[in-house]
Amino acid sequence: MELAVIGTGYVGLVSGTCFAEMGNNVICVDTDVNKITLLRQGMIPIYEPGLEEMVRRNTKEGRLTFTTEIREAVDKALVLFIAVGTPPDEDGSADLQYVLAVARDIARHMTEYQIIVDKSTVPVGTADLVRKEVEKVLAERGVNYEFDIVSNPEFLKEGAAIEDFMKPDRVVVGVDNVRVGEIMRLLYSPFNRNNDRVITMSIRSAEMTKYAANAMLATKISFMNEIARLCEKLGADVSEVRHGIGSDTRIGYKFIHPGVGYGGSCFPKDVQAMIQMAQKAGMEPLVMKAVEAVNAEQKTILVQKVKTHFGDDLHGKTFAVWGLSFKPQTDDMRDAPSIVIINDLINAGATVVAYDPVATPEAQRRFGDNPAISYADSEYDALRDADAMLLVTEWHQFRYPDFTRIRSLMRQPVIFDGRNQYEPHQVRELGFTYFAIGRP
């Protein structure tokens, strides 16, 4: 098919590239001239394993092209995906100005039947707003072209987005007629060779499915973090509790790892948006509010432990921070726990030396020229003369470090493990003072 993807952020670039990989002709549109120039040269503005190679291959073979002109995309494509950002407003609700602006731009250049797909994460009812914007512009033009609106939310995990797109658990498609549903099923058929994973439903149900999925995962994380706090109070080990409940197939082991809270581009924004949607509908979202409150508190837990050990005044203390991105395999620091942790350390007078395999440039942009934080070239360089190490992001290379080397580099052998990566008795036998989450 001839496809267009408007917006070359994380979702748009991954989606467009994967569609091209399956043989479709895809034109990606963005208003950022510098970004489009880089993409045409085979360079990508985000870190996602395997994506750059796929972009280069499909660009070279002519299936994937980039432009700043939306007219060019509308002229060529049957299916147009809206994949622009929906940042939170001041009240936490999703800002739809970019989605609706793209809808108007598409309508200004339509000359025949087309399918407009909401790929961005948007509140329930957004498809109706998009339809009204398109109809309004077409009426102003004095034309009446037929079109369909589809909701097709993404379920991509940063760090594994290509795998998720190419081998999806499910493809949710919200439609209001059979014809467009069959076209979308045909589009996704190469991704479903062994098992049909396309789930068609009403448009509003599809819009709700995306938010409900992320809210459920965020709920599991906050629930387990609260259980971890209770374990500390009562002398239980949350790792043992996790094994005990995770073995129940109704619960499972995924997303019940205690830690320092969730971050990223999805969970924080989507939970806030769900709270706003519920309140605007006249309902008080008690669970979602609790999920958000627990997560905000959890991001402060590690520094609370630091202050309990060293005291509230951290002047003269140096802390090594391992991990800056909100999760491994990405450089994304949006709402990352590391930001709260580092700011709390600095505000208490501490000096921070941080290391992350890929997110250091993003951290430098966020923290600017703050003299209280510097960046190391390796995890071991960050430890020199440190009074303690804080493990914040569970990158694979942090799982089995050389503890003898770690102890030789540090001023004090103290570890605050924000991801419960290490076995407490083993680390303590090696001479470390060790603190974890929810473990006695």
- Rounded distance, CA 289 to CA 304, Å? 23
CB 276 within 8 A of CB 289: no
Q: Which two tokens stand for residue 427?
A: 């680390």
Residue 418's CB is within 10 A of a number of other CB atoms, namely: 29
List 4's β-bridge partners, or say none: 27, 80
CB 328 within 8 A of CB 393: yes
- Rounded distance, CA 248 to CA 257, Å? 15
Query: Is 344 in a helix, a strand, or coil?
Result: helix
List 48's β-bridge partners, or say none: none
Please indicate whether residue 266 is annotated as part of the active site. yes
Residues 6 or more apart whose CB falls under 8 angstroms from that of 84 comprise 6, 7, 9, 12, 98, 99, 102, 120
Residue 405 CB-density burial (10 A; 0-12 exposed, 13-18 middle, 19+ buried): exposed
Q: Which two tokens stand for residue 43?
A: 């360079």
The DSSP call for residue 328 is T
- Pick the catalytic residue from 18, 28, 231, 266: 266
For residue 201, what is the enclosing H or E element?
A: strand 198-201
Of 142, 166, 145, which Cα lies nearest the Cα of 156? 166
CB 354 within 8 A of CB 321: yes
- Rounded distance, CA 13 to CA 81, Å? 11
Q: What are the phi and psi torsion angles at 30 (to 5°)?
A: -155, 150
- Rounded distance, CA 239 to CA 201, Å? 39
CA 290-295-297 angle, 5° bins: 95
Please list the active-site residues. Answer: 266
